[in-house]
């Protein structure tokens, strides 16, 4: 609703005032307040009841005058109606009715209340909660209507408001309105208004010893403080540019006249200087009454400005005034300036005032115990609180922080994390602490992590979330403190249960949440899935490339875990994922494929077959790396690989040992591929006329990659030699992985095969087929079986023969095969070597039967051979 629209409030107020007008006394006959006090009070009470009935105003007991009440608007929503109420009153005053040139927007308000004198309208405004609309009218109303109200107020304020403190607030409020009005009045009206303000000050301000005697000694000191404070506020407003007109200013354009904004002010600055000079004169008169004792008393008087006494506020205002008049020579020479300099020297900024507070006082301030605080004050208070280290382990401080978490951000988390990192450094120096004691002391930070840091993390955008995780990793806080809660595990399980293997559907935000709660477990679980299928491998690298600064901290620990996990090492995609993990510095720096991630199916095949569809980023990308970082990454990877080898060698898990060593062979191919690809890209860049700077950067990377092979060899010679020499399974190592071309392979293999499991036997037979020693080996087995006259001999041979055929099938998958007949002849030859007790019918084993069996992998067919 627009403030001037007809409403029930206008109608009810009109009926009430019309009834009084007809039954008691005509409202337009009130020329003076003297003698009509009771009538005026009754009128104001009637209007207040109407406004209270519509919840527009409320009444409360006066702070100082026990027998009086104060009427105030109920809130911002009520102001819309109250502006309209004031408009109805002013439009129906006798002064307005004489002009008869109403604005069409408000002509409908004429007659809604009886004609009344201006004295009645002012009385209702001051007594019925319309003081703010009245000040707005004085500031933005047309001079043809509003300017005369300054004289009316000068005559009647002291009669309507008996309390000198209330009168002072009204006076300075009118002066502030006048500052706005001067800015848009024409020159003549503005000059007259300046004169009116001088008369207001001369009549209403208690600026002499005689006038001050109306107050007792203690209130005098308070009055002088308020007078200095409020007049300095008005002066500060006068020395600055006027505020922009608010949207509601047009409400007060009651008449059709050209007085407002009709003449351009040619001397606005000098006019405002004259107004400022009048204010400074008034300040001078007040200041002459201030004794040293009075000034010291102000230090104990709390002002309306939080944390400041009146003495401190006046000192700050004095400094601000002196700063604004530096470029105004006439004002700067005013006598009061010298006295204000003394005050200005003791001015304290809000930040300085905050530093003086005790921790308890600071918390009370932030909690609003001293009064409502602004956003700027809240931010300043929080900044001060965060400078006090005790706040991070104090429950009261954490509670206060959590109340204002909407004002906190990455800079505050930085302060918290840096403090926690400093604590860890101090803890490391204290060798007397047990693990349990360290754990207990670190738990002091649990409240700030859960009530503050976690809430900031949740509220932050994705980029800030990444920065938070990166900072935490860099400072070594991730594993030192607890960031998870009761719901963390179920949230992590839910995330991974929802993964459908589609990289583009992997929700980055959800993954960031679970990384915050347990980053190591989150990346490890995702890596485990990457070992199972290429789609999950793509998800892993897709997320890692988006979260590079954070993800890079978990590549080493992920490799450490994978090479020691016997379950994931046997997963279908393990070779591909482990090979991609080796190249993580290149991938996270922007290695590109068709999917922008190392798609697992193509990764190993492309690397091993030298099909260069992978483009290395030979310029700084997402995460540039140095030669030291590249070497450290390779070393960590090979260290993890060697650790896995050592573990499974000790456990005699030959199959897992082979898988790890197979990964090592893939790494060798990857090193060669990286070099080849890099050189080809350099050639292409030269052909494309790349800039000299780009080529220089690219060559730096290519030269860096050249070292990969030598670094790997040096690392492996040291690790593998120690492992082979000290391992109880060294013979098996040499036989199956390192020394498979020895002349004594068959003899050594024979010794191993007699004590092998099925998987190990298959691996050994596969090696013997590759080395073309399988005939010799099977012949020796048959000879041994013939020499052994035991019932289990036939079953033993079937065990060996079955695993030989498994090995033969593997050979068929890997090697370039000869003609069918040659395969059949080879298998017939092996069958012919069978022990006498196990001799098969050779003629029944045809080439077609063997091929059908092998191609279809009909393993049951082995029993019929």
Residue 829, token pair as written in the block: 């030859």
CB 457 within 8 A of CB 516: yes
Mean pLDDT of the chain: 86
pLDDT in tens, 606-664: 555 544 345 788 877 778 999 999 999 999 999 999 999 889 988 888 889 888 988 98
Query: Which CA distances in Å does 259 have to 100, 153, 263, 275?
Result: 16, 22, 8, 20
Residue 131 is encoded by which pair of tokens? 């003081």
Structure tokens given for 206? 């208690």
Q: From residue 543, how far is each of 105, 494, 548, 633 by CA, in Å?
A: 63, 17, 8, 19
Contact status, residue 506 vs residue 499, Cβ threshold 8 Å = yes
Per residue in 547-595, pLDDT (tens digit) is: 999 999 999 999 999 999 999 999 999 999 999 999 999 999 988 653 3
Q: What distance in Å separates the CA atoms of residue 288 and residue 280, rounded to the nearest whole number?
A: 12
Q: List phi, psi (to 5°) of 286.
A: -70, -40
pLDDT digit string (tens) for 169-222? 999 999 999 999 988 888 888 899 999 999 999 999 999 999 999 999 999 999
CA distance 30 to 10: 22
Above pLDDT 70, what percent of the chain? 86
Cα–Cα distance for residue pair 14/21, rounded to 1 Å: 10
Distance from C-alpha of 569 to C-alpha of 637, rounded to nearest angstrom: 15
More confident residue, 639 or 856: 639
Q: What tens digit of pLDDT does each residue of 391-409 get?
A: 999 999 999 999 999 999 9
The secondary structure of 263-296, three-state, reads CCCCCHHHHHHHHHHHHHHHHHHHHCCCCHHHHH
Q: What is the mean pLDDT of residues 465-491?
A: 93
| pTM reported for the whole predicted model | 0.73
Percentage helix, strand, coil for the chain under 3-state DSSP, each rounded to 5: 70, 0, 25
DSSP 72: E
CB-based burial label for 336 (10 Å; 0-12, 13-18, 19+): buried
Residue whose tokens read 């991070």: 392
pLDDT at 621: 79
d(CA 481, CA 517): 10
Query: CB of 648 within 8 A of CB of 566?
Result: yes
Strand ranges, E, within 596-682: none
Spatial distance between the Cα atoms of 151 and 472, rounded to a whole number of angstroms: 68
């Amino acid at each position: 609703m627009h403030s001037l629209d007809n409403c029930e409030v206008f109608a009810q107020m009109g009926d009430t005032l019309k009834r009084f007008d007809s039954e008691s006394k005509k409202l337009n006959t009130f020329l003076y307040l003297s003698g009509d006090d009771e009538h005026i009070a009754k009128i104001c009470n009637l209007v207040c009841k109407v406004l209270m009935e519509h919840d527009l105003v409320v009444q409360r007991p006066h702070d100082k005058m026990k027998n009086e009440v104060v009427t105030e608007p109920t809130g911002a929503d009520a102001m819309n109606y109250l502006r309209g109420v004031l408009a109805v009153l002013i439009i129906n005053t006798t002064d307005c009715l004489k002009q008869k040139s109403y604005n069409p927007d408000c002509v409908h308000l004429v007659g809604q209340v009886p004609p009344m004198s201006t004295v009645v309208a002012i009385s209702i405004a001051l007594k019925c909660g319309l003081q703010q609309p009245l000040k707005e009218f004085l500031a933005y109303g047309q001079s043809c209507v509003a300017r005369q109200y300054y004289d009316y107020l000068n005559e009647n304020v002291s009669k309507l408001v008996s309390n000198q403190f209330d009168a002072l607030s009204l006076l300075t409020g009118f002066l502030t309105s006048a500052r706005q009005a001067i800015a848009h009045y024409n020159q003549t009206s503005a000059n007259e208004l300046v004169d009116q303000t001088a008369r207001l000050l001369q009549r209403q301000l208690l600026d002499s010893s005689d006038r001050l005697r109306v107050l007792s000694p203690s209130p005098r000191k308070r009055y002088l403080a308020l007078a200095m404070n409020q007049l300095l506020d008005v002066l500060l407003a006068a020395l600055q540019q006027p505020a922009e007109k608010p949207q509601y200013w047009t409400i007060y354009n009651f008449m059709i006249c050209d007085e407002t904004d009709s003449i351009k002010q040619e001397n606005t600055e000098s006019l405002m200087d004259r107004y400022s000079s009048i204010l400074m004169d008034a300040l001078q008169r007040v200041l002459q009454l201030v004794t040293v004792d009075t000034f010291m008393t102000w230090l104990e008087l709390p002002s309306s400005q939080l944390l400041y006494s009146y003495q401190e506020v006046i000192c700050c205002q004095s400094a601000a005034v002196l700063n604004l008049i530096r470029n105004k020579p006439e004002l700067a020479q005013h006598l009061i300036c010298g006295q204000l300099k003394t005050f200005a020297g003791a001015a304290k900024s809000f930040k300085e005032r905050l530093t003086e507070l005790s921790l308890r006082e600071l918390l009370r301030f932030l909690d609003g115990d001293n009064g409502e605080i602004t956003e700027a004050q809240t931010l300043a208070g929080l900044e001060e609180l965060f400078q006090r280290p005790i706040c991070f382990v104090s429950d009261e401080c954490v509670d206060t922080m959590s109340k204002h978490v909407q004002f906190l951000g990455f800079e505050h988390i930085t302060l918290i994390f840096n403090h926690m990192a400093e604590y860890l450094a101090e803890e490391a120096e204290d060798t007397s602490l047990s693990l349990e004691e360290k754990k207990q002391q670190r738990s002091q930070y649990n409240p700030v992590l859960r009530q503050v840091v976690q809430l900031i993390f949740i509220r932050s955008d994705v980029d800030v979330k990444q920065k938070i995780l990166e900072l935490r990793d860099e400072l070594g806080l991730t594993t030192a403190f607890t960031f998870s809660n009761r719901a963390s595990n179920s949230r992590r399980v839910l995330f991974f249960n929802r993964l459908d293997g589609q990289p583009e559907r992997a929700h980055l935000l959800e993954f960031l949440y679970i990384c915050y709660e347990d980053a190591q477990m989150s990346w490890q679980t995702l890596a485990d899935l990457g070992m199972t299928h290429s789609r999950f491998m793509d998800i892993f690298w897709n997320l890692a490339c988006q979260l590079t600064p954070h993800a890079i901290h978990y590549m080493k620990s992920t490799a450490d875990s994978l090479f020691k996990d016997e379950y994931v090492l046997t997963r279908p995609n393990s070779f591909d994922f482990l090979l991609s993990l080796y190249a993580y510095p290149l991938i996270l720096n922007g290695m590109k494929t068709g999917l922008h991630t190392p798609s697992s199916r193509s990764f190993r095949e492309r690397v091993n077959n030298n099909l260069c569809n992978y483009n290395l980023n030979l310029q700084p990308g997402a995460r540039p790396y140095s030669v030291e970082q590249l070497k450290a990454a390779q070393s960590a990877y090979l260290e993890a690989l060697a650790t896995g080898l050592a573990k499974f060698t000790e456990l005699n898990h030959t199959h897992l040992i082979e898988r790890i060593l197979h990964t090592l062979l893939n790494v060798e191919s990857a090193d060669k591929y990286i070099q080849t690809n890099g050189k080809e890209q350099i050639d292409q860049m030269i052909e494309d006329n790349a800039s000299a700077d780009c080529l220089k950067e690219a060559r730096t990377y290519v030269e860096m990659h050249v070292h990969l092979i030598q670094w790997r060899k040096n690392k492996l010679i040291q690790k593998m030699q120690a492992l082979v020499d000290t391992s109880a399974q060294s013979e098996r190592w040499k036989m199956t992985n390192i020394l498979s071309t020895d002349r004594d392979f068959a003899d050594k293999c024979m010794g191993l095969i007699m004590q092998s499991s099925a998987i190990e036997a298959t691996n050994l037979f596969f090696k013997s087929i590759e080395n073309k020693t399988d005939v010799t080996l099977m012949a020796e087995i048959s000879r041994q079986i013939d020499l052994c006259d035991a019932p289990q001999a036939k079953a033993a041979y079937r065990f060996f023969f079955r695993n030989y055929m498994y090995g033969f099938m593997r050979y068929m998958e890997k090697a370039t095969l000869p003609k069918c007949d040659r395969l059949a002849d080879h298998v017939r030859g092996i069958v012919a070597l069978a022990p006498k007790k196990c001799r098969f019918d050779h003629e029944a084993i045809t080439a077609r039967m063997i091929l059908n069996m092998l191609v279809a992998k009909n393993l049951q067919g082995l029993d019929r051979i």
